[in-house]
Amino acid sequence: MKNLLKFLMVVAGAALICGLPYALLLNFKVPVVFPHIQLPAEPITGSVHILGVEFFLSNTLLSVLLADLILIVMAVAAGSAARRRLKQYEANPKAVDADGDDLMVPKGWLNTFEAILEYLYNLVETIVGSKWAGSVFPIAGTIFLLVLVANYLHFVPLVDSFGYLHCTEKGFPAKELGNTGIYYLAPEEGNLVFPSPSEAEVACGHGEGEHSPEPGADGTRWSVVPFLRTAATDLNLTFALALVSIVTVQVLGVRKLGFSYFSKFFNLPALSKGFMGWIELIVSWLEIISEFFKTISLSFRLFGNITAGAVLLAVIAFLIPVGAPIVFYLLEVLIGAIQAFIFFMLTTVFVAVAQAGHGDHGHTDEHH
């Protein structure tokens, strides 16, 4: 009972502090507007043409860069802490830290980072063996950490609330916040949440020779294109990661088995078995298709789960802005970690399967 009361007090304190900014926003009549959901990543800067190909910085690419930056800061912080403790230990092996603990015992962030990496490394070692763990872990571990941090960026408050205004007929009027050059979407009186395109006097000027209007101009409607969007909601990222994963699998398969690895795809030695050998050759071609589908399944699994989560959070925050999103945020915390872990595990397991080789099945069959 006492613990429950204590827990409720902690929740009440946190809710009081976190609820204040929200209450202030409502006081300034800034409501939660209908979320703008778009599947392709949106460009946030102008484009550059290199060799006839258009390049631009998209909001998902910026999120990946941000996740990279966070990972680099984490790694540098852990590395410098480890070096500092090691230096102190080398100077005086009997010295202790401020808490009176042995210098070789990692503490704080170094301890957390080491625990995560050690757990992942041990897992890889169990699956592919100690000889190949060193080759698989850097790729699989990096993918895990990148996907995890990129997924969790969605939980950083306000991150996907800011962006540039995009003129659209399914949007809301924009109002300037003082004279700051910062605008916010402000639904009309009596129509607080849903946009009403039928009544809108759309003046976006998408036609030839027309100029885009300024935000705040009468009759124009806008939606926010966020500067940062959850990276895994872009199929380009998940497909790129899946390609890295599958190419790693092939490279490590060849490194272990040599050119006999390709007999999995072109089982020419089986032709000596006559008719059944031809069947085995055709079946081996199916392995090529299966490798392509591994790439597709890896990329679409991550993309689908994270996109569905992002849409769910946006819709729940719009429908029931207070309280309910917390439950779904907790759910997304789990899903973000689970999806990163699944990607990591599948990469490792695919390497183990590729390194087992086609011949190993033959040996197993012979023994049995």
Residues that bind another protein (CB under 8 A): 2, 5-7, 9-18, 20-21, 44-45, 62, 65-66, 69-70, 73, 77, 108-109, 112, 153, 156-159, 162, 164, 180-182, 227-228
Nearer to another protein, 163 or 304 (CB): 163
Beta bridge partners of 58: 43
- Cα distances from 254 to residues 121, 248, 251, 354, in angstroms, run 22, 10, 5, 9
CB 157 within 8 Å of CB 329: no
CB of 24 to another protein, least distance (A): 12
Distance CA 205, CA 220 (A): 10
CB nearer to another protein: give 36 or 154. 154
- Of residues 10 and 48, the one with the C-beta less far from another protein: 10
8 A C-beta contact, residue 264 and residue 362: no
Q: Which is nearer to another protein, 32 or 123 (CB)?
A: 32
Cβ(253)–Cβ(246) under 8 Å? no
Whose Cβ is closer to another protein: residue 157's or residue 209's? 157
Q: How far is the CB of 88 from another protein (least distance, A)?
A: 19
What is the smallest separation between the CB atom of 251 and another protein, expressed in angstroms? 33
Minimum Å gap between C-beta 104 and another protein is 19
Nearer to another protein, 74 or 244 (CB): 74
Do the beta carbons of residue 301 and residue 338 sit within 8 Å?
no
CB of 113 to another protein, least distance (A): 10
Nearer residue to another protein within complex by CB, 162 or 194: 162
Minimum gap (Å) between residue 149 Cβ and another protein: 9
Nearer to another protein, 62 or 123 (CB): 62
d(Cα 222, Cα 226) in Å, to the nearest integer?
Answer: 13
Tokens of 218: 């009468």
